[in-house]
A and B are shown apart, each in its own frame.
Chain A
Amino acid sequence: MGGSPGGPIDKDQHEVEDWERLADAINSALGGRGLQTTDELRRSIESLEDYRNLSYYERWAAATEKLLIEKGVLSGDEIDERAAEIRRRWEGP
């Protein structure tokens, strides 16, 4: 990866999970609204401390969160509250 040995490549096909489609869609929407550019996302992905431990779309999600907080679009508390609300709804009463 990036010119360094990256180990064997897993060539098996795998299903895209719903949250991964959502991460992709959110990024398209943010780009469409002019809130985020591809280059900003790449820069944010590269600066993730746990980059090597994250999957492709985990990087997107973590980098998008970091970028939106940095740009003042959302606060970390707002994101955490919303995530907790969605988790409650998902898990049911």
Chain B
Amino acid sequence: MTFEPGDRVRVLPSEKPGHVRTPAYLKGKTGWVESLIGAFPNPEEIAYGLSGRPERPLYKVCFRQTDLWDDYAGPAEDRLYADIYEHWLEPERGST
């Protein structure tokens, strides 16, 4: 699965144990791909002394703050950007 800028994506609501690089507060949330940052050895495997290879694509993903926090009081246009590895993303259901 490869994503393009503008693609709607959902962060997997995975309960994968151990060291993960995806913030808990983004799990299950929907945003869109801003850009591809590059491909890097997987830090979730390096954390256990492994090589982390093959390299995994890392995306800059954009979220609406109002989609993340029930009581968000800031401006509606506020955004949050997070670096998310491809294996944590799926296409948003219903999007083409």
Which A residues contact B (CB, under 8 angstroms)?
2-3, 37, 39-40, 42-43, 46, 71
Q: A43 CA to B49 CA in the complex, in Å?
A: 11
Q: Does B25 lie within 8 Å of A40, measured CB to CB?
A: no
Q: Does B25 lie within 8 Å of A3, measured CB to CB?
A: yes
Least Cβ distance of B40 to chain A in Å? 11
Which B residues contact A (CB, under 8 angstroms)?
18-19, 23-25, 43-44, 46-49, 52
Interface of B is mostly: loop
Q: Does A40 lie within 8 Å of B47, measured CB to CB?
A: yes
15 A-B residue pairs with CB within 8 Å: A2-B23, A2-B24, A3-B23, A3-B24, A3-B25, A37-B47, A39-B19, A39-B43, A39-B44, A39-B47, A39-B52, A42-B43, A42-B47, A43-B19, A46-B19
Interface centre among A37, A39, A42, A43, by most chain B C-beta atoms within 10 angstroms, is: A39
Select from chain B the residue with minimum beta-carbon distance to A3: B25
Partner of B48, one of A2, A3, A43, A46: A43
A42-B49 contact in complex given A2-B24, A2-B25, A3-B24, C-beta closer than 8 Å? no
Least Cβ distance of A59 to chain B in Å? 14
Q: Does A43 lie within 8 Å of B23, measured CB to CB?
A: no
Partner of B18, one of A2, A37, A43, A71: A43
Partner of A39, one of B23, B24, B25, B46: B46
